[in-house]
Structure 1
């Protein structure tokens, strides 16, 4: 299993957890036992957290041996094939898939978000590798269209992000989503984006208005450690001390299902992180998305929603007023969105179903 694993990013860890659970469930339904081997930046922690074998993603000898000994490779999910964060990301993930194909292993693209891809040279590389995959599944229609633009000829399935299918854990890992306090809790998931921190300054202004206009509590939910904790602290320093008793930060939340439970206790969530919004949807928590990347807009589109702001244009007054509206209309929002959410949840395990079918049929989908 190849992905952005072992980097203390709750969203990507949730992707891993969701795929592991889906493979286990779908494998059992077809009499197949999957034994995952995860390529991780921190193999010891990954192995301990998920009770799987893990090897270092940047140690070639161990990586080659693991793929050689495997029955196949899963790449994803997440936004692995994009060059917004640098030119090395796409070559790395394609090289892993290409290696598996060179060794004669079936390869499966698991609910990936493709793009943005600004460098034209990558188009041919992606096309060449993807046309040899046994399964291609992407998490939005925009990703499919980009692959078609690259001349990928294999069938491309559009499925939800795998995290939509992640269940709450038992009480030992996190409380139930219905266990909400009497005071309204506004979850806030932020990250650094603009160099001048203008997006965080505007959010601090919005949160101040929320605290002034409601009796709600603010709960910061850092998804990528330690940077999101630092971004949350940046905002907290701008808030008046008189509100300190109504503001908390979720600390030490390392397991995805713990964070899922944290989100589930919120009455409304304001989120920049994609998986904060996905967590909220899965727990039917009304949300306001702040877009810094097309993947935010693409997910919200699947819920017939639009971002309340983007990182270049943020109206503090609009965020505050929309938060107050969702607090008042939370039950109606849940009623309106429930059919869409349930559909996404039911479709989230489709790639795992297809992979189990592949091995159940003797390495053939027919």
Structure 2
């Protein structure tokens, strides 16, 4: 397919990992002069993306309109909480009707409750692409019910060719049969669906969708982006030229209780003290944008306050573009990552990485690169300080050997991401 009107769905504006995925998708699409429009959680087009494209591109809010509180206002926060409860209840009803084949009714409901700008872009598109992320997943949403899933169903009931790009499918834990059937129908009606990790494969098998035409496994888009940037000589993945610096990306999770949070902070302090004593300078990389939901900076400050040699620690406080972020991360020789895309950055840039897994996909990526031994589940990281410290010791001692493993594994993984995208659009 060439020179299509492509409507890119589901982008989450306040997450640097999602912005890296979007950078890849946009970079690939504009290379063949496709006409683009984006649906983002903020409704806005990032300035760095306009610069990448070289012109202004239309952007609209997700189908239900505003969903996150970007105004940091109590009034707006409570307004959105009420709105979300109303819409989530409607989403359950829509999924029930969609599973029963009542597409005309579902389309009518969307025409009443969805914002008109979004619907106009759906109608005008030749192809609709879900950008990839926590979209069809219960990691953050009960039963996997969220605006992203419903926006995809909206594209289907309007008769559009739909591509669920890499990582659009994460496992969904639900006992509600019509939700499983709805997801199965959506995948069956889609042009292509790419899933991640063993748990996602098991979920697709459970709902009878694993053998549908166009369903296949694929790694993260950012691996493909790193290959593109490396070919353009815009990043450096040579380990020999890197300074002795470590970069740390934490996760400001709302799911930890107070005692877990204190142990999480304590363990990170111990690990960073050890890394500094091994001769590294340390930088923290916030993966959320300053002031947006989930901003890690307050938690980072607590950790730094407890570090013995805190003068050897800094924070990459400025919110860089995805390409600038990858360039910055590529300067480091060691990475400790909790947010998924920080781990993806480390693997793709061939940086020896200690991964803290809050989700099975992190372990999946580490296994794909042959370094699963340096992955520790979040709960174990919090409860077993001794194991966490021993993994750091091992990683530092075997830094060069780990880099060589990443270098050997990465070529095929990165190439396949780019090859699969090219098959769809070129």
Q: If the TM-score is normalised by the length of the shorter chain, which range does it land in?
A: 0.7 to 0.9
Task: Please point out which of 361, 378, 395 is paired with 1:311.
Answer: 378
Contact kept? 1:183, 1:217, Cα under 8 Å: no
Is 1:203 the counterpart of 2:260? The answer is no
Give the SS at the match of 1:312.
Answer: helix
Task: Please point out which of 7, 15, 22 is paired with 2:21.
Answer: 15
Is 1:61 the counterpart of 2:66? The answer is no
> Which residue is equivalent to 2:212?
154
Q: Report deviation, 1:323.
A: 3.1
Contact kept? 1:72, 1:100, Cα under 8 Å: no
1:282-297 equivalent positions in 2, closer than 5 A:
282-297=348-363
TM-score (norm 2): 0.74
Q: 1:182 and 1:345 mapped to 2: Cα distance?
A: 22
Is 1:187 the counterpart of 2:238? The answer is no
For the aligned residue pairs, the C-alpha RMSD in angstroms reads 2.5
Is 1:231 the counterpart of 2:237? The answer is no
Give the SS at the match of 2:396.
Answer: helix
> Which residue is equivalent to 1:361?
none
> Which residue is equivalent to 1:261?
327
CA 142–349 in structure 1, closer or farther in 2 if over 3 Å, else same? farther
1:1-366 equivalent positions in 2, closer than 5 A:
1-7=8-14, 9-25=15-31, 28=32, 33-46=33-46, 49-50=49-50, 51=53, 52-57=57-62, 58-59=64-65, 60-87=115-142, 90-112=145-167, 114-121=169-176, 122-152=179-209, 153-155=211-213, 156-167=215-226, 176-178=236-238, 183-193=243-253, 194-196=256-258, 197=261, 198-211=263-276, 213-226=277-290, 227-240=295-308, 243-306=309-372, 307-314=374-381, 315-357=384-426
Q: 2:181 and 2:393 mapped to 1: Cα distance?
A: 48
**After the TM superposition, which of the residue ranges 186-195 and 10-19 deviates more from structure 2?**
186-195
Q: 2:240 and 2:319 mapped to 1: Cα distance?
A: 18
Q: Report deviation, 1:292.
A: 1.2
Gaps of 5+ in 2: 1-7, 66-114
Deviations 1:138-173 (CA, angstroms, capped at 9, x unpaired): 233432331121111523111111110113769xx9
Q: 1:180 and 1:2 mapped to 2: Cα distance?
A: 40
Q: 1:222 and 1:71 mapped to 2: Cα distance?
A: 37
TM-score (norm 1): 0.86
> Which residue is equivalent to 2:110?
none
1 or 2 for the larger relative contact order (CA 8 Å, sep ≥6)?
1
Contact kept? 2:336, 2:354, Cα under 8 Å: yes
Contact kept? 2:155, 2:162, Cα under 8 Å: yes
Gaps of 5+ in 1: 358-366
Contact kept? 2:271, 2:389, Cα under 8 Å: yes
Q: How many residue pairs are counted as aligned between the two chains?
A: 345
In proportion to residue count, which structure has more helix?
2
CA 14–245 in structure 1, closer or farther in 2 if over 3 Å, else same? same
